[in-house]
Amino acid sequence: QTTADLEARNAFVREKVVQMLRGFPAKNPLGPVVVKTMQRDGYRVENVMFQSRPDFWVTGNIYVPTTGSGPFPAIVSPCGHYPLARMLPQYQSAYLTLVKSGFVVLAYDPIGQGERRQFWNPKTNVDEMPSPTYEHSMPGQLQLLLGENLTEYRVWDAIRAVDYLLTLPEVDPKRIGCAGHSGGGSMTTFVSVVDERIRCAAIIEGGMVNRWPMKVVPWEPIGPSDVEQNLFPSALYGIDEFDLHTAIAPRPVLTATEQYTPAFEKAAQAVQDRYRRLGALEKFATVPSDDPHAWTPKLRLATTDWFSRWFYNRKGPSIEPVFATESPESLYCTPDGSIRYSGKRQTVYSLILQKQAQLPPGRPVPKTSAERETYRDEIGAEIRKLLHFRKSDQPLDVRHIVTTPREGYRIEKIQFLSEPGIYIPAWVFIPDDKPGVLPTILYVSDEGIEPDGMEFEGEEGSGLTHSVLDTLVREGNLVVAVEVRGIGNTRPLHPASDSCNEFGQLFDLETGMAYMAWFMDQSLLGMRVQDVVRSVDYVTGRQGADANHLHVIGKGMGGLWCLYAAALDPRIRSLISVQSLLSYRSLTQVDRYKYGADVFVPDVLLHFDIPQVAAAIAGRPLTLIYPMDAMKNTVSVAAAEKAYESARAAYEAAGLQHLFKIESEGTGLDSPEHYLSLIRAADAV
């Protein structure tokens, strides 16, 4: 590799990072407000607010030397994932060490932290979320539905912080640095890659270990970091941690870690080699804290020394100066320490609400057969694109595992190929003494096969009544129950990394797998829809199955997988969706939800919502039973009908309004007896 090759690679990385961030908005007036000024020994502290977007306020503190001659070099400091953010004493200590050494420092609150927390009540001091990582991922995953991402919001806040520094007469515009710890270190990396006004960086315990290739060890937790720490689809471009660090070159970068490990040293060596190739070996350095994760005194001194070296051509202090940190309340920019409770300004959730209100784009109701076909083709094309759907043409390669006899029927336990290397388990329930073509049902549940496939309900068949699948087959139906990849017996052997609370789905195994797919520009949801379509291939090709009258029951997330599959595959004669997500907009209209990233589709609301997918199957029987809201509570019929106005209109235009049903009031609607009544009605059409 030549120097020219490396420079081209760095340019490619910078370009792709901006692309993955979805670009940046136009710059608005910052409208800064200095709320309070505190004079201290050798410096002053200003409580300052500025608008990174119109009426979207960033709260912070600026530390300005009052001794020495300016203009001074300036450091912008994104914060790590702590509720108090810039007000944390260890962080204040870093800022004070820097300002005492002749640096202007602008520290600001990230979205979801400090005065920008969404779930902290200043009156009760109660925080409804376990940590800032939840404050990030909760809105951040919603933004993906809208074609946005929280990483861009966070990076843009930092860029606008630099803009604000450049308005100050005390600041030398040619000596701007960036230093952040932990999640703030990750943000320092991203910002330094895309904003070359940053001439020097200190990435303090912000991650240096490469992601790729992944080493997946059974029984070890797999779960994602909060959403803004991830760039999708970075794996597709081969962009890893050392690429990001190298893309800052030849500007100076200090990378700190808790302690040296083989993985850290390997990545650091790769960065060092690239700095050497650029003739800038001395501009990359690493330092261990030899302490647990924190911006420790050793690392604070290393940070100050690094900036002193490159901006003053001298060493930094060998010991921290004497100073006193401030109370959090004295650093507030708002009366009670909360942008949200000040009630006057935009928050990330108010911006989400505003954008989702205009989405998805309106579509004319198809009124003729030709219009319905065009509508289905258009929606189908968009589903294929957004879900990265690719139907395999490989033979199914059916494997028979075992046949299990039961009273009145038998179960063939099989596997078949969804795509090369991915086998789908299935149980085929076959009534005894029922030759010929049988009424056929495909059953897909997000709980897998066993909970509904035992002879009796309950764990290990310990209930008093026959199970769902047992009842369906006893009524003379051929029933095929499948487990899509990652569900039931194909669930990976990994515990969740952080899912022991009400909103643990933000960091569970399912969300981790969804993120892995997004890194590769793929979709876990799309893969599972493909598995359903391949299940249709198997069922319709099986001897004794009624290929012309295939009825599908989807439960939980299975209802969503099957709805997408029905929009793509007309062989599905009717669909019963049970306890499935009402719509993506139902998520974006609230500030909390219990769905993981496994049902999310980036950009989806720029194109369609789940009701528009339902409209694409107008003409075939569709029943929604107990549709669920964002918190997985049953939605009333009236509320569901309002959400599904487009689907209702499409069925009415076809003169088939009786084929579209929403049922959520009453008990027993999710019983096998009710399923059978719906299937018989569908067959009678």
pLDDT tens, 651-662?
999 999 999 999
The span from the CA of 57 to the CA of 60, in Å, is 10
User: Which residue has tokens 């990750």?
Assistant: 186
Spatial separation of the C-alpha atoms in residues 387 and 614, rounded to whole Å: 16
Q: Which of the four pLDDT bands, split at 50, 70 and 90, describes residue 391?
A: confident
Closest to 223 in 3D by CA, of 506, 520, 517: 506
Residues 6+ apart with CB under 8 A from 354: none
Residue 247 contacts residue 253 (beta carbons within 8 Å):
no
pLDDT at 500 over 80: no
Listed residue (483, 561, 490) closest to 526, CA to CA: 561
Asked if the model's pLDDT at residue 411 lies above 90, the reply is yes
* Residues in the chain, total: 685
Alpha carbons 4 and 362: distance in angstroms, whole number: 49
Do 300 and 100 touch, CB atoms closer than 8 A? no
For the stretch 319-370, pLDDT in tens is 999 999 999 999 999 999 999 999 878 999 999 999 999 999 999 999 999 9
Evaluate if residue 477 carries a pLDDT over 70: yes
**Residue 212 pLDDT > 70:** yes
Residue 499 predicted with pLDDT over 70: no
Q: Are 286 and 268 in contact (CB under 8 A)?
A: yes
The pairing of strands 622-625 and 33-40 is unpaired
CA nearest neighbour of 307 among 95, 42, 521, 613: 95
Q: Which two tokens stand for residue 245?
A: 């660090």
Q: Which two tokens stand for residue 369?
A: 């057969």
* Share of residues in the chain with pLDDT > 90 (%): 91
At residue 602, the pLDDT reads 98
Residues 438, 546: contact at Cβ < 8 Å? yes
The predicted pLDDT at position 248 comes to: 97
d(CA 404, CA 509): 32
Asked whether residue 496 carries a pLDDT value surpassing 90, the answer given is no
Which helix (H) or strand (E) segment holds residue 575: the answer is strand 572-578
Classify strands 56-65 and 43-53 as parallel, antiparallel or unpaired.
antiparallel
- State how far the Cα of 210 lies from the Cα of 205, in Å rounded to an integer: 14
Pairing status of strand 545-555 against strand 438-445? parallel
Check if the beta carbon of residue 394 is closer than 8 Å to that of residue 419: yes
pLDDT average, residue stretch 152-163? 98
